[in-house]
Chain A
Amino acid sequence: QQQVKQSPQSLIVQKGGISIINCAYENTAFDYFPWYQQFPGKGPALLIAIRPDVSEKKEGRFTISFNKSAKQFSLHIMDSQPGDSATYFCAARYSGAGSYQLTFGKGTKLSVIP
């Protein structure tokens, strides 16, 4: 119920290409869906996020598409750059029992090659 499934595990994209990472969830009580970017030796940093009443959100080169009925959401990185090479995590927030907790996917290691 609390699981968030993320794919692919790794992704290699040419510079200028589009990177697409997908996530699926089961728990309909999740109320907020962020994406985090993590570089080696650093903690995750919030990249972009969406609420379930919105189907798409775009910030610069990053877009989240959200399909509430299918319980799926995805991250699109347009014009991918070598500096985007990092591990990306989708997450879903559960707000209940007096706390707010994120459930993370297992991550996607993105490599953007020149």
Chain B
Amino acid sequence: ETGVTQSPTHLIKTRGQQVTLRCSSQSGHNTVSWYQQALGQGPQFIFQYYREEENGRGNFPPRFSGLQFPNYSSELNVNALELDDSALYLCASSSWGGEKLFFGSGTQLSVL
């Protein structure tokens, strides 16, 4: 088990709603990355946070946004939910530039 915890574990939302997912990083880690894993696919990079700033983004629209807090925990916010947003959302923590990413167990989001 990694020290990365995510909440909630499961979530059901309706199209058009907004959602906030939370992540507590492993002790000593100052960098948080978020990934989206669709069913039967590999995780896809959403963005990365370091020193409370977004410093890298994958191919995701602006309605995907995030925050990192001084204790290095993080939130992922998704506005105007679409059916295709249904996926497992994974948070990973690391030290800055560190090669080893430690993933949480994810939040399973279902958009109806």
CB-CB contacts below 8 Å: B19-65 with A: 31, 33, 35, 40-45, 48, 50, 55-58
> In the bound complex, how far is the Cα of B55 from the Cα of A98, in angstroms?
6
What interface size band does chain B fall in? 20 to 34
The answer to whether A106 touches B42 (Cβ under 8 A) is yes
> How many angstroms between the C-alpha atoms of A105 and B44 in the bound complex?
9
List, in ascending order, chain A residues with CB within 8 A of B105's CB: 41-43
Check B70 for interface membership: any CB of A closer than 8 A. Answer: no
Question: Do A89 and B43 form a contact, CB below 8 Å, given A43-B104, A45-B2, A46-B101?
Answer: yes
Which residues on A sit within 8 Å (CB–CB) of B97? Answer: 95, 100
Chain A: how many interface residues by the 8 Å CB criterion?
27
Q: Could you tell me the distance between the alpha carbons of A4 and B58 in the complex, rounded to whole angstroms?
A: 15
Contact status of A104 and B55, CB under 8 A, knowing A45-B2, A99-B48: no
CA of A88 to CA of B5, assembled, Å: 22
Q: Which residues of A contact B (CB under 8 A)?
A: 4, 6, 32, 34, 36, 41-46, 49, 89, 91, 93, 95, 97-107
Apart from the given pairs A43-B90, A46-B102, A97-B56, 14 other A-B contacts in the complex at a CB distance below 8 Å: A4-B42, A36-B103, A41-B105, A43-B106, A49-B99, A93-B99, A99-B57, A100-B56, A101-B48, A102-B35, A104-B44, A106-B40, A107-B41, A107-B42
